[in-house]
Amino acid sequence: MGASYIMVGANWCDKCRQAKNILEKKGVWDLVTYIDFDGQEGKGLADKYGAEHIPFYISDGHLISSTIEFVHLLQEASLTNAFGDDVEGS
């Protein structure tokens, strides 16, 4: 089973919309499960992981607060999906 990538954000949040736009432009949005912060699940994740700001991200049970770090993880996952574990070639 592959890694899980979650973004918690809200429609009213400018930074969340910007982050989603970046993920779409980088071609990795389809790897993301989006959860609305204003819902019970979003608030529960914020409490569980101690997130104080949105957007925040969760990858395999680890809190990621940096959009740049999250994009990097997703791009790496995208390459791994396309080429397998040997992304550098033989």
Tens-binned pLDDT, residue by residue, of the chain (90 aa) = 467 999 999 999 999 999 999 999 999 999 999 999 999 999 999 999 999 999 999 999 999 999 999 999 999 988 887 787 665 554
The pLDDT assigned to 2 comes to: 62
Segment (H or E) for 4: none
Element (DSSP H or E) covering residue 86: none
- What's this model's pTM, rounded to 2 decimal places? 0.86
Q: For residue 17, what are the contacts with CB-CB under 8 A and spacing of at least 6?
A: 9, 11
Using CB atoms within 10 A of its CB, is residue 17 exposed (0-12), middle (13-18) or buried (19+)? Answer: middle
